[in-house]
Chain A
């Protein structure tokens, strides 16, 4: 049973560039959330996708956008990269929305983004 898979594992970009990160949820899961984890910090919620719609968003600027596909996979896009965007980007999947049956979030290993 494949868990949450993310690609790429590592990425180096320069300021001002755009980046797309990809995530495939755990088998049987239909909800994808994205988190940003800065070095030495806990993960911070970016947004969540369910039924191909953004359901909730954390305190991140519009430069962060996403998409969910009919097969439940998801992309995170970041435009106009800043040095401060350097972080581990984690994708987490669950079955349905949190608070119903999906409290158990399963995280992928993340994409380490470095902005130079």
Chain B
């Protein structure tokens, strides 16, 4: 049972373009929606996160858009740079649970 579905699996974007990664979930009890960035040989690092009481959160070039009614949230990377090339994971957390449930990941490549 996959609690969060992430798409696309891989994405190639030109430098300066916008990268968009999507996640969909089923359980309306989830209360925290982070995005993690992982470089080869490293562990995931928290990039940005949102709670369901807001529809958008922006930190620098990274924005989360959250659609509660559709049970979807997405990561937008503006002005994508080659250094953004990494694997991105969405995750969900349910209050009271002591774990994050991760999506399958999106391998993002930014071409110079």
Task: Show the binding face of A for B, using Cβ within 8 Å.
Answer: 4, 33, 40-45, 48, 50, 55-56, 58, 90, 92, 97-99, 103-110
Contact = CB atoms under 8 A, between A and B. Distances in A.
A103 B98 contact: no
Interface centre among A4, A42, A105, A109 (most CB of B within 10 A): A42
Contact of A98 (B46, B97, B102): B97
Given A41-B105, A98-B100, 12 more contacts: A33-B98, A42-B89, A42-B91, A42-B104, A43-B44, A48-B98, A98-B98, A99-B96, A103-B34, A103-B49, A108-B43, A110-B43
B34 to A, nearest CB: 8
Interface residues of B, number: 26
B41 to A, nearest CB: 7
Given A90-B44, A107-B43, A40 B102 contact: no
Contacts of A104: 46, 49
B95 A105 contact: no
B104 A41 contact: yes
Contacts, number: 65
14 contacts: A4-B43, A40-B105, A41-B104, A45-B99, A45-B101, A50-B98, A58-B99, A92-B43, A99-B31, A99-B97, A103-B32, A107-B36, A109-B42, A110-B42
Q: Which label, helix, strand, loop or mixed, suits the secondary structure of the A interface?
A: loop
Interface of B: 6, 31-32, 34, 36, 41-46, 49, 89, 91, 93, 95-105
A103 B43 contact: no
Contacts of B46: 104-106
Nearest to A3: B43
Nearest to A103: B32
